[in-house]
Amino acid sequence: MKSFNYYNPVRVLFGDKQKYIADILKADGHSKVLLVYGKNSIKKSGLYDEIRKILIDANIKFIEHGGVSSNPTLSHAREGVLKIKDATAVLAVGGGSVIDESKAIAAAAASECDVWELYDGKKPTGALDLYVILTISATGSEMNSGTVLTNEETKEKLSFNSPLVYPKVSIINPALTLTLPKEYLVYSAVDIITHVAEVYFTAEEHPKIQNRFCENIIKSVIKTTDELLKNPDNINARGEFALCATWALNNLTSLGVGEYSFPNHMIEHSLSAIYNVPHGAGLAVVLPAWLKWFYKNTKNPQVKRFAKKIFNEKDAKEGINAFEKWLQKIGAPTTLKELGIDRNDIGKITENIVKVAPRWGLENIYKTNVVNEILNLA
């Protein structure tokens, strides 16, 4: 066990609790908020009207900032900051993209700097209080201090972490995910598994308790995804899936494991920065390819353990195959081709990845030849 620091002050309200949002905002002294949301899904589902009514009835003013895209953009976040004015908090209603952009807005508004500076190394000096009503369980952003944003001009997708952007309250109501299209459930599953996999495979140390903790999440995601594809209305499976998403990236998996890295996310961020593919779809393509490269080059025993514990396969390669087959079964893409990405683009993608690798602390491993090899496996 390596030493660690852990701090996660997010208050999680799990269940049918969005009705309490006005009381929560008032209790914290907020009477005007920036209401951030995505495209049309919350309007279609009725959640938009529900939240508006709750806020209006409670006399809480709100400035609307809809239209967050699934890879949230710098320009849209900048617009959000301009709208803040005298609002004292940000209310994010949506999934990881909406939350991430909300973190950007909350931090930039209080730090009085340009949004992109924060993703470019500047530490935020403050952040408006952030409240979340989650509609897609996937990124874990509802209970962590990270945020990812895409700069459309430079085609960079970067992240920053700060305890200042932990949501004050996150309402996780699994019932709100009932209207999620099937493909987004699939992408979410892949995102969650990848969050766990990054730690599980790349960590310096593998305490047994953490191995089992990670395997528990992966098993639960596989099981509940299978169940939900058969019966999308299984609310218990929705709940368990939601807990997996939150646990997968709220720092629990990494306690005591020492250093670890996010190579799959690094590679995928370049894919979605260039091609705007859904994050989970990109990860479904990257993770099996990365695993093949990783096992071939490191023979890391965690791959064999993964094969055994998750797919009951004795051989590491058989485990990776089983994983790839499962991804195909649930309808996830597993090749660049399925993402509509031409093999001839690999050089360009590699260049983008190698350029951002230093920001991920991965420039010593992920050089041109390695990245090329991984992308060719995809």
The footprint of its own copies (CB under 8 A) covers 1-17, 174, 207-209, 212-213, 216-217, 219-220, 223, 235-236, 239-240, 242-244, 252, 255-256
Q: How far apart are CA 105 and CA 74, in angstroms?
A: 10
* Shortest Cβ 213–its own copies spacing (Å): 6
Residues in the chain: 378
* Choice between 117 and 226, CB closer to its own copies: 226
Which CB atom, from 1 or from 82, has the smaller least distance to its own copies? 1
CB of 241 to its own copies, least distance (A): 9
Residue nearer to its own copies on the CB measure, 83 or 168: 168
Nearest partner of 73 among 146, 154, 141, judged by Cα: 154
Q: Under a CB-based contact definition with an 8 Å cutoff, are residues 137 and 174 in contact? A: yes
Going from the C-alpha of 107 to that of each of 130, 165, 192, 193, 199, the distances in angstroms are 10, 7, 25, 28, 27
Given a contact cutoff of 8 angstroms between Cβ atoms, the answer to whether 157 and 148 are in contact is yes
Residue matched to tokens 């890391």: 300
Residue 12 C-beta: closest distance to its own copies, Å:
4
Assign 306 to helix, strand or coil: helix
Q: Specify the residue, 4 or 331, whose C-beta has the smaller distance to its own copies.
A: 4
CB of 32 to its own copies, least distance (A): 25
CA distance 49 to 62: 13
Residue number with CB closer to its own copies (243 or 289): 243
Provide the token pair at 315: 């051989």
Whole-angstrom Cα distance, residue 142 to residue 222?
Answer: 21
Shortest CB 228 distance to its own copies, Å: 13
